[in-house]
Amino acid sequence: MRILFLTPQIPYPPYKGTALRNWGLISGLAARHDVSVLSFVDPGQAPEVPPLLREMGQVEAMEPPIRSTRDRLRGMLASRQADMALRLASQPYAERLSRWLQEKRYDVVQIEGIELAPYLSVIAAARPRPLIVFDDHNCEYLLQQRTFLTDLRTPARWPAAAYSMIQWQRLRRYEAEVCAAADRVLAVS
């Protein structure tokens, strides 16, 4: 089976939660399947692929889009989209993904995290259309809701609470839309 993983950061070396989980999935599946990875690198990190990942199928790392606090605030005020929907939205990444889907037929494309969900439409447009698996690492809207409730108790945190309240509502809607658009959903929270 040909599987393409979209990851928010290179999963090797596995140094934190998301990378640990993604590395376990990717390395385990690569033992029996043709696995490719299209990823971002952490800000400031060179877009290099670690040697161990080069032994897999196609692997590429791209620089993430830069979004300042001002950009995020402008997006919150001018749009009804959740901040997480914009976090890793990148035209170069979308174009690369589209090219990969044209060049190689994937049976499954697995989206690792809500910040990569904007690429659902690119995957859905591929012909033949691969099975789309959305791996929701956290129930993000619940995290935002809990952050709102915590910050609400401290007056100095009220601006942060206002942000979390807005994002919680937007994320609840966005996560529901993403889950409905995917063929399969994995949830770890």
Model confidence pLDDT, tens digit, residues 14-64: 777 888 888 889 989 998 999 999 999 877 776 676 666 666 778 898 989
Gap between the Cα atoms of 52 and 55, Å rounded: 6
β-pair type (131-136, 2-7): unpaired
- Paired with 36 in beta bridges are 4
Model confidence pLDDT, tens digit, residues 80-112: 999 989 999 999 999 999 999 999 999 999 999
- In the chain the domains, ranked by start, together with CATH numbers, are 2-139+183-187 (3.40.50.11010)
User: If you write DSSP's letter for every residue of 105-123 in order, what string do you get?
Assistant: --SEEEEESGGGGGGHHHH
23 neighbors 12 (Cβ within 8 angstroms): yes
Lowest mean pLDDT among 70-79, 88-97, 177-186: 70-79
Lowest mean pLDDT among 46-55, 123-132, 140-149: 46-55
Name the pLDDT band for 185 (thresholds 50, 70, 90).
Answer: very high
